[in-house]
Chains A and B, each alone.
Chain A
Amino acid sequence: MEFNEVIGLRRSVRFLNPWKPVERGKIQAMLEAANRASRSVNADYPRALVVKRDDLDDQTRDALRNPTTTSELDLAPVYIFWYFDANYLEGAQERLKELVAQRALPAAHGWSDAYVDDVVYAQVLQPIGTMPEVVTFMGAVEVGIAICNAVNAAVNEGLGTCLHAFTNPEVVKARFHVPDNWVPVWLQLVGYCLEEREAGGQRPRRPLSHSYFEGDCTTPFEDDPETTEHLRRTGMIQAPGPFPYRETEVRMLSRMLGLPE
């Protein structure tokens, strides 16, 4: 699938096909995409635990239920528990020096082993490690970038996915030997779409000019119509929801699964 189409086709899919298993290779592709995500100081922020729904006992699955995520847990064949490792700064000094050796951080931009040792590590990263709020902020932002890659990789693999609140992480921790330093972020449910992949059409978004600015923050970033048309043709901008038959689609799915209408 082309990149623009992946971006355009992504939805938070809540009607996943409960009986169709997900190939392990597709999960691997998602994790590899997360592993290749942009990340500051080349630190290994993300941690992910992949679990098959049918390998969970009822007690554990019930503990994950919350008012916004209940039936979805019955439908999704694969759960990915996303965390960040609060110890992500450990080893950052050496990993940065790997980038210096690779010339990914070249002298052209001021980088050297000495700069990493004497300035970046000693004066920036070490102090950050003593500030829990900064550690949490960075961890959450960076693992969010990794999760975003995993979400888009799922779409590219023909899967549906949705991020959910991570309820009762202590149950998951006890059941799956999650280390103390892993901080829960999101529960990602994965499966094939039971609904159309378009899931009723693209979700509403305000125009770019609402949230994006150019030059200064009093000047909205205005669309170039030609570019907008290109993005439409290549699938990033798709038909908006709701499709005329969306209500019927949801009703039929709900009846099949015994869900509220």
Chain B
Amino acid sequence: MNTKPANDPQLALETQVKDWEGKEVASFLAKQQEKKAQFFTYGGLPLKRTYTALDIQNHPAEDIGLPGRFPFTRGPYPTMYRSRTWTMRQIAGFGTGEDTNQRFKYLISQGQTGLSTDFDMPTLMGYDSDHPMSEGEVGREGVAIDTLTDMEALLEGIDLEKISVSLTINPSAWILLAMYVALAEKRGYDLNKLSGTIQADILKEYMAQKEYVFPIAPSVRIVRDCITYAAQHMKRYNPINVSGYHISEAGASPLHEIAFTMCNLITYVEEVLKTGMKVDEFAPRLAFFFVSQTDFFEEIAKFRAARRVYAKIMRDRFGATNPESMRLRFHCQTAAATLTKPQYKINIVRTALQALAAVLGGAQSLHTNGMDEAFSIPTEEAMKIALRTQQIIAEEAHVTEVVDPLGGSYYLEHLTNEFERKVFEIIDEVANSGGTLKLIEEGWFQRHIADFSYEQALNKQSGDKPVIGVNLFQESGEVADLDTHPHDPTAEHRQIDRLQRVRRERDQDQVNTLLDKLVIVAKDDQQNMLPITIELVRAGASMGDIIERLKTVWGTYREVPVF
């Protein structure tokens, strides 16, 4: 250690801080102790009383940098919301394609700027609506899609070259992508003009959301196929949304949300590189999806750190040279699991704070949850208020004029640095323990998620984690005065009728021939699954036809649960 000169500003600051602790702080503590001996972020990072330049002095200043420039800590674009407000993308999905199409049109009429689609459980899991496993679930938690005809109804009257559509689906995602392509071609659109996103992030399903069909290897191959197909045919389309959201909602800490997401990202990139495609040919369209949780500053730091980690992974690990391959773009959704049934209207406030953190963290697209989502899927009114929340942040709060307004905050930069450091530690730990796929099969990620979620449940019970209305400021005898979204019992019949009509009217010989061809493609993992699947959906094949046939080739996945 060199001896610092007497006029060293850092030394002067250290002296000042010690002096302050000995005088002002000590005298206040003598009068009144602080509420806790040690404070932590929601994710468990220990916090100091305040932060100064000393806390970020050991980190290179260029890591903060400038917006739109490597390492993109301050935002993926140089002008951010000064040029273009984030996309207000409220997710919707229930009943049949027609039912959801109406909600889409309502949301667009209210000023929404992008679409996002929730699918029902049978669609997500690749079952046709008339399969016994689908009973009671058709059109309930999302829209039911069996065939291309349903997709046409879903997107009727919506200009796909003008509005981006996000499809929130995973194990059966490529079939939906195939339907989207088939629909776009039928309508005469230029595939290279379509913008939008398909989630297609299967690894976080094994870790967290638990929507999977096939074993891991063929499932990752399908993700690879979506990415390479889009890179060649759909220049503006995001073929994957590498998602931390579900990892968090399944109970993970914010740190694990980012770290596990990056482990998955690395796996996908490695798979695509094996095909011979260059990183800069596909990386610019990789997109992300994160939650905005309750710890305001931790979340903002999380988003900033995620951008920096990604930039470094893409440049240093994968050798990307195009800056677009290094800039992380993300959709954000407020945290559904924080919504409460008691005093449900205060969910509007929770959501507003989470949404503000997303905006200050530089999100490209945002969904704000409805106040009634602890009861059921949201009503039109709840979605309107959620959308208005975003509009207030965008139009009234004056938070969009300056890019990364909190950049340079000692506290925030310190948290950002901590996040980055710990995320890279976890990535290394995973690599040294055998890699992401092996650890998924061993339940390693699942164990970490379960641990944090259990800890939070106990903290909620003890009151260490206050939740207004649940363990603090409860109201007795509260009667929920809300009308929830009604489940339409006719949707199931309407959906099954249409599916069976499509089956009657299609050329069954053609479908059979194509299904045989599908098996051949599936068995050769050098081939891409998309072209044959596009042919199949055009010929009227249902999702169930395709998935069931592939189960005979690949089998299915069953996890060994960890708790």
Are A and B genuine complex partners?
no
B interface residues (Cβ-Cβ under 8 A, vs A)? none
